[in-house]
């Protein structure tokens, strides 16, 4: 499998991400937090000194072309297709009970969850080969596909950010985006603008619509 285009060459992402080219580009709102250490490690190869206690939860996609730059004894990690945490709220509750105050949500370009309709037949076939009844396999994939499919990785990340902010109001969420071609983290512009404007209020009427019944959808 080849790597996708670098995101600065891909028109889908033009003007939608904030680059962090030098450590000075790390925004003030993440200075002195575990998110800054993650950005320094990923973009500038600065080794993270594990504190011996969990400082961060990192939620990212199952994507095999991306490896996290973290040592043991530093962060909890939840990897799920698309990086969204729908169905993992119990894990999140556990992590929060361990004293974690920051959650990095790392989306990425060329995510397989933007291609679920093409992948669905072979996914159902894989389940049939595992011994599932064909009808059951197809129904399962059809049902789950509706939940996992996304058209655009950055919009899906924003949608999930709003959903999680509504469910978990105290913890700090840090939406980030990794470019698979250069393995560097970027900040979604929609989030950066919110933070700079001081208007990170999720009750803002201009927010993307997240229906209440979508807030907590357990498996």
Does the protein bind Zn ion through residue 61 (CB under 5 A)?
A: yes
CA distance 66 to 182: 10
Nearest to 164 by CA among 195, 126, 208, 206: 208
| Residue 17 neighbours by CB distance under 10 Å | 21
Does the protein bind Zn ion through residue 59 (CB under 5 A)?
A: no
Question: In the structure encoding, which two tokens stand for residue 130, read together?
Answer: 């595992």
Segment interacting with Zn ion, rule: CB under 5 A, options 35-43, 67-75, 85-93, 109-117: 109-117
Cβ of residue 128: shortest distance to Zn ion, in angstroms? 24
Cβ of residue 86: shortest distance to Zn ion, in angstroms? 14
Does the protein bind Zn ion through residue 100 (CB under 5 A)?
A: no
Residue 108 vs 194, nearer CB to Zn ion = 108
DSSP result, 23-73: GGGS-GGGTTSHHHHHHHHHHH-PPP---SS--EEEEE---TT------SS
CA distance 179 to 16: 13
Cβ of residue 66: shortest distance to Zn ion, in angstroms? 8
Cβ of residue 60: shortest distance to Zn ion, in angstroms? 8
Of 17, 86, 103, 111, the residue at the interface with Zn ion (CB under 5 A) is 111
Residue 55 vs 63, nearer CB to Zn ion = 63
Beta-ladder partners of 178: 108, 185
CA distance 173 to 155: 16
Residue 146 vs 209, nearer CB to Zn ion = 146
Number of residues located near Zn ion, criterion CB under 5 A: 3
Of 63, 138, 158, 160, the residue at the interface with Zn ion (CB under 5 A) is 63
Nearest to 112 by CA among 161, 160, 66, 149: 149
Cβ of residue 123: shortest distance to Zn ion, in angstroms? 14
Segment interacting with Zn ion, rule: CB under 5 A, options 55-63, 91-99, 171-179, 191-199: 55-63
Beta strands in the chain (DSSP E): 17-18, 56-60, 75-79, 102-108, 172-179, 184-188
Residue 111 vs 137, nearer CB to Zn ion = 111
Q: 174-193 mask for Zn ion (x: CB under 5 A)?
A: --------------------
Cβ of residue 111: shortest distance to Zn ion, in angstroms? 3
Residue 61 vs 187, nearer CB to Zn ion = 61
Residue located via tokens 């840090």: 174
Residues of this chain that interact with Zn ion (CB under 5 A) are 61, 63, 111
């Amino acid at each position: 499998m080849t790597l996708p285009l670098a995101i600065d060459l891909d028109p889908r992402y033009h003007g939608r991400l904030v680059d962090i080219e030098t450590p000075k580009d790390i925004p003030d709102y993440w200075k002195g937090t575990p998110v800054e250490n993650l950005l320094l490690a990923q973009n500038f190869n600065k080794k993270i000194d594990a504190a011996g206690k969990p400082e961060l939860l990192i939620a990212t996609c199952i994507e095999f072309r991306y490896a996290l730059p973290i040592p043991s004894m530093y962060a909890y990690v939840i990897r799920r297709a698309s990086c969204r945490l729908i169905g993992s709220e119990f894990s999140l509750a556990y992590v929060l009970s361990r004293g974690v105050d920051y959650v990095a949500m790392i989306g990425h370009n060329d995510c397989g969850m933007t291609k679920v309709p093409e992948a669905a037949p072979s996914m159902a076939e894989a389940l049939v080969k595992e011994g599932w009844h064909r009808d059951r396999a197809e129904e399962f994939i059809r049902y789950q596909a509706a939940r996992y499919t996304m058209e655009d990785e950055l919009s899906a990340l924003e949608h999930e950010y709003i959903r999680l902010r509504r469910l978990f109001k105290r913890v700090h969420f840090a939406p980030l985006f990794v470019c698979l071609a250069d393995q560097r983290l970027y900040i979604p512009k929609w989030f950066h603008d919110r933070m700079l404007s001081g208007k990170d209020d999720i009750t803002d009427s201009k927010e993307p619509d997240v229906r209440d019944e979508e807030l907590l959808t357990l498996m």
